[in-house]
Amino acid sequence: MAKKINKSKGTVILGMSGGVDSSVTALLLKKQGYKVIGVFLRNYPDEEPYLDSICPFKADKEIAESICKKLNIEFQKLDYRSKYLKSVIQPMFKSYASNQTPNPDVYCNSLIKFPALWKLAKSLKADYIATGHYARIKKSKSGFQLLQGKDKTKDQSYFLYKLTQSDLSHTLFPLGNYKKSEIRKIAKSNNLPNWDKQGSRGICFIGNLDFKEFLKRAVPSSPGPVLDLEGNTLGSHPGAIYFTIGERVGPKKGIKIDSKYINLIGNKKIYIAKKIKNKLIVAPENHPSLKKSKITIIKLHKVNPKSIFPKSNIKARIRHLGSLLPGKLTNSKGKLIFILKTPQKEIADGQAVTLYHKNVLIAGGLIKTE
């Protein structure tokens, strides 16, 4: 634990969720000599009955406020519901309607959380903003680098790839050099009531929900055919947008497959290999069509625009806490393509992909498979 010093290091606007990570972040910052102002961001409309159990806004706010009171730091609330709906949720629905698989947490950070905290910081003449993310920032000769968190089982750099040099220049990630187990111990030893509170899951600011049901409330169903790789009709589905590449199909998910096909493939499990408009193309488990060896990266964002891509030892990550996949980055006819050393399954258009050199996140973008 860092020793407390008397001279203030400046004022920090800290995003607080009511969870143990942001609570310990507040504690650490204060002990390090910063003046801390805790801020709770209200985003998704919690008054909708459907979200009451998965987005406990009031309970989380009360915890965050109680932690601030216990630590004797100022507490504020910000209401970003309309902007969150317009900038994150509605575009997410639009992406799904286009048969893509977006990651809303990436945009939640770059369009809502970090800009909101910095806007408040500037209005209060604060010096920094901070969050409880497990990531690190390092200043180099060419600018700021975004590094993985020390705890590889909690590293959240994947969600932060769209942050800019300006963002990194005034942001603090106090948990970057800690492991989650250490954070819980710190919280318990300092009598923080949420020391054993389960971490948040699911969509940023919403929670762990039945996503298909959530999606159905916004995007009308449109039944369509299920085809095999040769184009033969095998059955039907309730709507291609409700499914993603690599997902297993079956009657429990509303997908009916002809029993003749099931018998033909020897009762193997069946997975989605492609989506073409409102058609689902499926293949039996272990079929080569379920894996891809090339990823085209679009809408690339370099964390440090002045940096040069390393010529070797670049690895890609295609999902949060997914394996760092070795491969080769190429530029073919103006297209940035990552060629995977080992073909991978469950790669879908619209997914975020991040590129690392050792423990540094150098860039990120969106996947385009065809």
pLDDT tens sequence for the chain (370 residues): 444 444 578 999 999 999 999 999 999 999 999 999 999 998 865 555 545 555 567 788 999 999 999 999 999 999 998 898 899 988 998 999 889 999 999 999 999 999 999 999 999 999 999 999 999 999 988 899 999 999 999 999 999 999 999 999 999 999 999 999 999 999 999 999 988 877 665 454 455 567 777 787 778 878 999 999 999 999 999 999 999 999 999 888 889 899 999 999 998 999 999 999 999 999 999 999 999 999 999 999 999 999 888 888 999 999 999 999 999 999 887 889 999 999 999 999 999 999 999 999 999 999 998 6
pLDDT for 121: 98
Residue that has been written with the tokens 């969106």 in this structure: 366
Are 91 and 202 part of one and the same domain? yes
Are 126 and 181 part of one and the same domain? yes
The alpha carbon torsion through 246, 251, 253, 254 (nearest 10 deg) reads 120
* Final residue in a domain of this structure, among 286, 303, 324: 286
204 part of the active site: yes
Are 20 and 46 part of one and the same domain? yes
71-95 CB burial, b ≥16 within 10 A, e <16 = bebebeebebbeebeebbbeebbeb
Are 119 and 233 part of one and the same domain? no
The alpha carbon torsion through 65, 69, 74, 80 (nearest 10 deg) reads 0
The CATH number of residue 295's host domain is 2.40.30.10
pLDDT for 308: 86
Out of 13, 73, 108, 130, the active site residue is 108
**Which pTM value belongs to this model?**
0.90
Residue 89 within any structural domain of the chain? yes
CA distance 300 to 282: 30
Residue 343 within any structural domain of the chain? yes
pLDDT for 200: 61
* Final residue in a domain of this structure, among 159, 194, 212: 212
Residue 119 within any structural domain of the chain? yes
CA distance 212 to 204: 16
CA distance 179 to 194: 17
Decide: 159 and 105 in contact? Cβ < 8 Å: yes
Distances (CA, A) of 118 to 122, 262, 330: 6, 56, 36
pLDDT for 217: 76
pLDDT for 13: 98
* Final residue in a domain of this structure, among 260, 286, 312: 286
Out of 204, 282, 314, 340, the active site residue is 204
**SS3 call for 158:** helix
Going by C-beta distance under 8 Å and a sequence separation of 6 or more, which residues neighbour residue 219?
93, 96, 97, 239, 241
Residue 253 within any structural domain of the chain? yes
Residue 363 within any structural domain of the chain? yes
Are 34 and 99 part of one and the same domain? yes
Nearest one of 114, 113, 160, 131 to 21, comparing CA atoms: 131
Q: What does DSSP say about strands 352-357 and 314-317: parallel, antiparallel, or unpaired?
A: antiparallel
CA distance 134 to 149: 5
Is 355 exposed, middle or buried, given 0-12, 13-18 or 19+ CB atoms closer than 10 A? buried
The distance in angstroms from the start CA to the end CA of the chain is: 50
Residue 1 within any structural domain of the chain? no
Nearest one of 287, 281, 286, 285 to 255, comparing CA atoms: 281
Are 44 and 86 part of one and the same domain? yes
DSSP for 254-290, written as a single string? T-EE-HHHHHHTTS--EEEEEEETTEEEEEETT-GGG
User: What DSSP element (H or E) covers 215?
Assistant: helix 211-216
Are 208 and 236 part of one and the same domain? no
Residue 144 within any structural domain of the chain? no
pLDDT for 212: 77
Give the structural domain span for 242. Answer: 220-286
Name the domain count of the chain.
Answer: 3
Decide: 132 and 22 in contact? Cβ < 8 Å: yes
202-235 CB burial, b ≥16 within 10 A, e <16 = bbbbbbebeeeebbeeeeeeeebbbbbeeeeebb
Q: How many helices (H) and strands (E) does the chain have?
A: 10, 18
Nearest one of 115, 142, 140, 139 to 129, comparing CA atoms: 115
Are 181 and 262 part of one and the same domain? no
Nearest one of 68, 118, 115 to 88, comparing CA atoms: 115
pLDDT for 42: 87
pLDDT for 199: 66
Are 112 and 233 part of one and the same domain? no
Q: Can you name the residues that pair with 207 across neighbouring β-strands? A: 203
pLDDT for 323: 95
The first and second tokens of residue 19, run together, are 């969870």
Nearest one of 161, 176, 72 to 131, comparing CA atoms: 176
The CATH number of residue 31's host domain is 3.40.50.620
Are 37 and 75 part of one and the same domain? yes
Are 192 and 298 part of one and the same domain? no
Are 237 and 278 part of one and the same domain? yes
Residue 154 within any structural domain of the chain? no
CA distance 318 to 173: 23
